[in-house]
Structure 1
Amino acid sequence: MTVSDPHSPEQPRASVSKADELIHHHTELPTTRLSQWLDSILAAIGKSASWLWVVVTGVIIWAVVGRYVFGQGSVFLEEVQWHLAGTGWLLGLAYTLVVDDHVRVDVLHERMSLKAQGWVELLGLLILLLPFLGLAVYEMVPYAIRSWELGETSQAPAGLSHRWVLKAVLALSFALLLLAAVSRLFKVTALLFGFPRPIRTDAKNDKKEDAS
């Protein structure tokens, strides 16, 4: 008789894989031409913004070496760090929605049929996400403009000027997230109502026409 080893590395891998599968559960939605176009733009922006983390790492190393090797601290470098980190994080929000790689914690959603998941997505988008994002863009754009008009700068000595830039990025991130939500809305309506027409349906129809 074979006795399984409780310390075997295979068992933890299996449990982690199962947990990861539950956490990163994806709703398989059809793609439309408009959503595909929006997703490609948002994905390009998100992937480009990810390079900011390389820059942030370099700035952190520079600041640490300057502080502990040469004894020269820099408020400027400290503010550059969190400005760049905030920009990278904000511009990556829309990308996470495009690839549906944000964490889902609804244990009921993953047990529903695809149609039921589509209805949950539709109601969540129309009632919760889209109104919130619309309100956020409505509030953030004047917020950034006001900062620019005042010439807002850092309150710290030797800090960064042009504080409006980060606030403009905040407004931009909500606008991009709004576009990502609209793209997902098109996918959901394509699933539930067939409009806009899914690309997969088009491909199947083209094959049928070629065969005839």
Structure 2
Amino acid sequence: MRAPARLGGVAASLMIFVILGLISWAVIARYFWNQPLPWADDLSGMLLVAMVGLGMAEALRRGDHIAIDIIGHRRSGRPAQLKIVWSSFAVLIFAGVLAWSTWDQIRFARDFGSYAPGEIEVQSWIPMLPLLLGWGLLAVTALGQLIEALAGRGRS
């Protein structure tokens, strides 16, 4: 179950370079050729949302996600396993709730036929899709960690 998270992380990493190139191109076009790209900011924002959505599962897989150690991070054995089970379960529920909410927003935007504000004329549900995919990847990654922890193979 690690491959989907890694694939999302690779896609998110590549988007960093795409955003860098897009912003660089917009700056050069504006200041050297006096030809601003009015859509560049909107596209950068959409790519940033996609990058975060696709990268969050990889951050969880690597242990780079935001965590609050109430129990303590120096536990080992059974307490460490219980901490992994609890945190994986919490992330799984969190990802499920947010996936459901995002799906509701996508469905509403699609049924309503709304368009994203700004210079890019795209239906507003389309930029939400990578976020929905990201919640799914996060849920799959958390489920994998939960199964590994219950089997006694989880990392502490």
Could you tell me the TM-score, scaled by structure 1's length?
0.65
Task: Supply the RMSD in Å over aligned alpha carbons.
Answer: 1.9
Aligned pair partner of 1:130 in 68, 75, 92: 92
> How far off is 1:107 after superposition?
7.1
Q: Which runs of 5+ in 2 are unaligned?
A: none
Cα deviation 1:177-204 (Å, max 9, x = unaligned) = 111110110111011xxxxxx5xxxxxx
Contact 2:4 2:137 in 1 (8 A): no
Question: Structure 1: any 5+ residue segments left out of the alignment?
Answer: 1-37, 192-197, 199-212
For residues 1-212 of structure 1, the aligned pairs below 5 Å read: 38-106=1-69, 108-126=71-89, 128-156=90-118, 158-191=119-152
State percent identity of aligned pairs: 22
Amino acid of the residue matched to residue 149 of structure 1? D
- CA–CA distance in 1 between the matches of 2:27 and 2:121? 19
The question of whether the paired residues in 1 share the 8 Å contact of 2:53 and 2:132 is answered with no
User: 2:11–2:51: 8 Å Cα contact kept in structure 1?
Assistant: no
Post-superposition offset of 1:171:
1.4
How many residue pairs match? The answer is: 153
- Secondary structure in structure 2 of the residue aligned to 1:109: coil
Larger Rg: 1
Whether contact under 8 Å (1:83, 1:166) holds in the other structure is yes
Residues 45, 147 of structure 1: alpha-carbon distance in 2 compared, 3 angstrom cutoff:
same
CA distance in 2, matches of 1:182, 1:113: 21
